[in-house]
Amino acid sequence: MHLDLSGKTALVTGSTQGIGEAIAAALARAGARTAVNGRKAEAVDAAVARLREDVPGANLVGVPADVSTEAGAAALAAELPEVDVLVNNVGIFGAKPALEISDDEWRRYFEVNVLAAVRLTRTYLPGMRERGWGRVQYIASDSAVAIPAEMIHYGVSKTALLGVSRGFAKEAAGSGVTVNCVIAGPTHTGGVEDFVYQLVDRSLPWDEAQREFMRLHRPQSLLGRLIEPEEIGNLVVYLASPQASATTGAAVRVDGGYVDSILP
């Protein structure tokens, strides 16, 4: 299957590192003009430079903006008025006992993890509908359906994205625009190796260490290893492609079978 996004403009929020950067790379490889976003211009510039090395000939644009604020989202829209593929990836997470999460923290998680995505969907979906083609995606998490006790504010914010995605899919019905959620499972990102080696023997080679970590601490995974960010990028590219024209309103899992359910 040849996935060609030539002539399309894609925006990936929070794409200066980790999963977001891998998604941006995958979209660029598929031929999309890809906008890299982050809060700080220096981080955006650095990510664009890495992507140019990783994807020779990539059509990239850096768009620094804090999309968790109305002003930041407006500034981004002014720089990038039309988008064909919107990937709402930006998010924050952190562990905290449930009874110690303050109102301000709950608000912050919803501003960044939920409302940023809502704002940008509200910004770009009308243009997609007018043009008769578009793709909106939300990067969620297994935590959306298996709420972690140590960070319920994060989990609940990702649960909200499932509802946001389904609702906007109905708003886009019959227009040629698809709206979907991607449920990512335990992923190999920055800092994860240190975390794994806190829990398993540091003398083990990385491949053995991550498999031991998954066996002991994430036994419900059917994959038996951490997911690579590129694997999430591959699914995003497929959902962004013309070949995925009949997939909308869905929560599509790339979680290695982590969620023990036959439904999302």
The domain defined by 9-187+227-254 folds into Rossmann fold (3.40.50)
Residue 88, pLDDT score: 98
Instruction: State the Cα–Cα distance between residues 240 and 247, nearest whole angstrom.
Output: 10
Residue 262, pLDDT score: 86
Residue 195, pLDDT score: 87
Residue 190, pLDDT score: 80
CA torsion through residues 196, 200, 205, 207, sign? negative
Residue 264, pLDDT score: 67
138 is catalytic: no
Q: Which residues of the chain, if any, have pLDDT below 70?
A: 264
The domain locations on the chain are 9-187+227-254
DSSP track, 138-205: EEEEGGGTS--TT-HHHHHHHHHHHHHHHHHHHHTTTTTEEEEEEEE-SB--TTHHHHHHHHS-TTS-
Residue entry with tokens 């002014």: 78
β-bridge partners, 136 = 86, 179
Instruction: State the Cα–Cα distance between residues 230 and 55, nearest whole angstrom.
Output: 13
Residue 105, pLDDT score: 97
Kind of pairing between the strands at 251-254 and 177-184: parallel
Provide long-range contacts, Cβ within 8 A and 24+ apart, for 73-82.
73/116, 73/119, 73/120, 73/123, 76/11, 76/37, 76/120, 77/120, 77/123, 77/124, 80/9, 80/11, 80/35, 81/127, 82/9, 82/124, 82/127
Q: Between the CA of residue 32 and those of 27, 65, 107, 252, what are the distances in Å?
A: 6, 21, 34, 22
Instruction: State the Cα–Cα distance between residues 123 and 117, nearest whole angstrom.
Output: 10
β-bridge partners, 217 = none
- Contact predicate 223/150, CB 8 Å: no
Residue 25, pLDDT score: 98
Query: Catalytic residue among 138, 154, 238, 258, which?
Result: 154
Q: Identify the DSSP state of 61.
A: E
Question: pLDDT tens, 110-154?
Answer: 999 999 999 999 999 999 999 999 999 999 999 999 999 999 999
Residue 21, pLDDT score: 98
